[in-house]
Amino acid sequence: MKYVIAHECRGRIRIRIDQKHMSLAQADLLEAWLQRLNGVQQAVVHERTCCAVIRYSGTRADLLQAISRFRYDAEDVETLSNVHSGRAISRLYQEKLVDLVCFKLIRMVFFPQPLRILWTIKTAVPYVFRGLRCLLRGQLHVELLDGLSIAVSILRMDFSTADSVMFLLRLGELLEEWTHKKSVDDLARCMSLNVDRVWLKTPGDEVLVPLNQVRPGDLVCLRMGNLIPLDGTVAEGEVMVNQASLTGESVPVAKRPGASVYAGTVVEEGSCTLLVTQQSGAGRYDKIVSMIEQSEQLKSAAEHRAANLADKLVPYTLLGSALVYLLTRNTSRALSVLMVDFSCALKLAMPLTVLSAMRQAGTSHVTVKGGKYLEVMARADTIVFDKTGTLTYAAPKVAQVISFGGHSADEMLRLAACLEEHFPHSMANAVVQAARERNLQHEEMHSEVEYLVAHGIASKVGTERVIIGSAHFVFEDEGCTVPAEDQILFKTLPEQYSHLYLAIGGALAAVICIADPLRTEARDVLSALRRQGFRKAVMLTGDSERTAAAIAAEVGVDEYHAEVLPEDKARYVREAKAAGSTVIMLGDGINDSPALSAADVGIAIGDGAAIACEIADITLSAHSLYELVQLRALSQELMRRIDANYRFVIGFNGSLIALGAAGILPPATSALLHNLSTLGVSLHSMTDLPQQDLPKP
C-alpha cells in the first residue's frame, strides 16, 4: 500500500493513504488489521480523508514496513471481513441528523407560508393517527399526548408550534435510536467470538488449524467445555449444549447427529464432530444483536420503573390540562400543560443512561450482558472469588517436572501436554506452553480423551490408562499408587507450588509443579472493594488447605474454603443469598460455572473457560482486577445518575406545568422548553459516567 506520512511525533504517526476514495468496508479492514499489528496500541482510520492515526510502542521502521506490505486482498486481511466497527451506523445517523436539521432550515427560509402549512398538516397525520390508536385501544400513553398537543395546535392555527413540536420529537427519536443502535453494536462486538484455532478432523488425524482456514463442509472436533466457533450440524456423537448466549436459557439442550448447533454456544457435556455449514464470523454478530435487542428481561429495575412511571403519569397530565381549562376557560393555558409531560424524558433518559454505561464498560474491556446486572453490582455486599486464574494470574508457569518410576521428565511433560491441549484452562495452558518452550513435539498418541469436571483428564496410550489431574482424582478416585522406591521423593514435594499428578497404568509417573503467583494488584483491589461498600470477601478453591491458607493470608480475604468441588461453590453462593446477602461470584473455569449461575451476578475472567464466559453475566478482560473496581464505581455512578435524572425530570417539568397553568408560559414556549430539556437530559445520559483514576499494577 502506498502512503505518505502527514505528521508524526514520538509514539504517534498519521499517514495519508494514496487512494481517492475509501469505502467504509476498506476503513474497517485497515483499522482492524492495524490494531492487530505487534506494537500498535491504538489505530483509528478516517475514511473521509483516507488517513490513519496510529499510536505504537514498537519500532518505527517495523511499523512502516508492515504498512507498506498491506493489501486489501491479502489472505490475512480478508479474514477480517466480518469485523464490525460501528462506522456504518455512525455514518448513517450523522447523515440523517444533518438532513433533518437542513430541511428544517430550508422550510423556514424558502418555503412560502401556504406550503409550510401543508407540510405541517401532512407531517402531523402520523402523530395524530398514533394518538387516536392509543385512545381507541384504551391506552393512555405518551403518543396520545403528542398527537393531542399537535392536533390542538393545528386547530388553533398555531402551525409554527405544531411544526416545532414535531421537529423536536423527531430529533429526540433520532438521537435515541442512534445511541441505542450504537450501544447495542458496541456491546455486540464486545461479545463476539474470540476463537483462534480449532481441531479439524482429517482422514488421518485431528489437526489444530487457524479458524479462518475452516470452510463449509469441514469437520471440526468439539469436546466438553469448548466454545462452538461456527454454525453447523452434529455429524457424530452426542452433546449437551448451553445456549444461554443466544436464547437466555441456561438449561443445556441435547444435540444428536443431524441437529443444528450455533456459533457462540458451549458444549457442556460430551463430545462430537461438527459439520460446518457457515464460515467464520458469518451470522454470529447478527445473532448477538438480536439477542440484546430482544432480551427485555435483562433491563434493569430502574428502566422498568421509569417506563411504568412514564405511562402512569399520562392520565394525570391529561387531567391537569382539563382541570386548568375548566377553571380558567383559557385554551392557551390548558395547551401549555398538555405540551409538557414526564413520559418523554423518563422513557428516553433511563435506557440511554444504562446503554451508555454498558457501552462505557465495553470500552474498558468489560462485557455486561444486561442493564440489571449493573444495578445489582451497585448494591452487592458480598464477593466470592475463585483462586486459580482469578486472584492469581491466568497464566501460571510450570516450575518443575518431577518424574517417578524411572520415567523421563521430558517424556512425561510431552505426554501431559498431549492430553491437556484438548481442554484449555490456565493450568493446562501452562503445561502446553512448557512443552513448547522445551521444543517437545507431542503428536497424538492417545485414544479418546475424557474430561472429568474439577478432577482431571483420562485417556489410553496403547493398552494403559493414563490420567492427569488433582491428588483427589488420581489417588482417591482412581486408586493410583506411588512407586515404592519413590516414597521419600513423593513426601518431599515442593510445598510452594500447586501440583498436577500424572499416572500411567495405576502408578504415579510424574508430578508437575505449577507456580501460580498472586496477582500483584489483588490485595489493593480487595481494599478498594471494601471502601466501595463490600462487607465480605470470600475465596473458594479446589486447591489444598496449605496452598489456600497461604494465598488467603496474602490477599486478605475475610474467609476461605479449600478443596471444594463445583457443587460446593454453588452451595456456598446459594446459602449466602438465602442469608440475605447480594452475592457477586468471580471465576474463570468450567468448575466455576455452577456458582456463576447461582450468584446474583456471575463475573467471568475472559481468558478462562468458554462455558464460564457464556454463563457469566459480566466478563472481564483479565488484564487487571482493577477492572472489577472500575465496574463497581461505574455501576454506582450509574445509579446516582439515574436518581439525578429522576429529580431533574420531575422538578423541571413540574415547574413548566405550573408556569403554563398560571399563564406565564405560552404553549409554544412550554413545548420548546419541555423538548429541549428532554433532549438535554438524554444527551447528558449519553455522556460517559465519571470514574475514579486507579493505579495500574
Q: Which region holds residue 622: left if phi is over 0, alpha if psi is between -120 and 50, else beta?
A: left
- Across the range 52-75, mean pLDDT stands at 85
Per-residue burial over 607-643, b = 16 or more CB atoms within 10 Å of its CB, e = otherwise: bbbbbbbbbbbbbbebebbbbbbbbbbbbbbbbebbe
Instruction: Name the pairing type of β-strands 40-46 and 51-56.
Output: antiparallel
Q: What is the DSSP letter of 518?
A: B
Could you tell me how many helices (H) and strands (E) the chain has, helices first? 24, 24
pLDDT at residue 697, as a whole number: 40
Least confident of 201-210, 412-421, 548-557: 201-210
pLDDT at 529 over 90: yes
- Across the range 300-322, mean pLDDT stands at 68
How far apart CA 90 and CA 94 sit, in angstroms, is 6
Reported in sequence order, the residue ranges of 192-314 that DSSP labels E, i.e. its strands, are: 197-201, 206-210, 219-222, 232-242, 253-255, 260-261, 266-276
Short-list 151, 142, 162, 144, CA closest to 671: 162
pLDDT at 690 over 80: yes
pLDDT at 423 over 70: no
Short-list 492, 503, 409, CA closest to 457: 503
Share of the chain above pLDDT 90, in %: 19
The upper half-sphere exposure of residue 673, i.e. CA atoms within 13 Å in the direction of its Cβ, equals: 18
Residue 153 class from Cβ within 10 Å (0-12 exposed, 13-18 middle, 19+ buried)? Answer: buried
Instruction: Identify the top-confidence range among 454-458, 507-511, 512-516.
Output: 507-511
142 compared with 673, residue with greater pLDDT: 673
3-state secondary structure labels for all residues of 390-404: HHECCCCEEEEEEEC
Asked if residues 12 and 58 have their Cβ atoms less than 8 Å apart, the reply is no
Digit-coded pLDDT (tens) for 492-505: 888 778 788 999 99
pLDDT at 611 over 70: no
Reported in sequence order, the residue ranges of 423-506 that DSSP labels E, i.e. its strands, are: 450-452, 456-461, 464-469, 498-504
Residue pointed to by grid coordinates 490513519? 52
298 compared with 375, residue with greater pLDDT: 375
55 compared with 145, residue with greater pLDDT: 55
- Across the range 439-445, mean pLDDT stands at 71
pLDDT at 68 over 70: yes
- Across the range 312-323, mean pLDDT stands at 77
pLDDT at residue 696, as a whole number: 44
Report the chain's mean pLDDT, rounded to a whole number: 80
The upper half-sphere exposure of residue 519, i.e. CA atoms within 13 Å in the direction of its Cβ, equals: 25
- Across the range 476-490, mean pLDDT stands at 91
State the pLDDT confidence band at 681, using cuts at 50, 70 and 90: confident
pLDDT at 248 over 90: no
pLDDT at residue 38, as a whole number: 80
pLDDT at residue 517, as a whole number: 80
pLDDT at residue 380, as a whole number: 94
- Across the range 337-356, mean pLDDT stands at 71
Digit-coded pLDDT (tens) for 249-277: 556 788 889 988 887 777 877 888 999 88
pLDDT at 303 over 80: no
SS3 584: strand
pLDDT at residue 539, as a whole number: 94
State the pLDDT confidence band at 287, using cuts at 50, 70 and 90: low
488 compared with 158, residue with greater pLDDT: 488
pLDDT at 295 over 50: no
Digit-coded pLDDT (tens) for 78-117: 555 555 566 777 788 888 888 988 998 998 888 898 999 9
- Across the range 150-159, mean pLDDT stands at 83
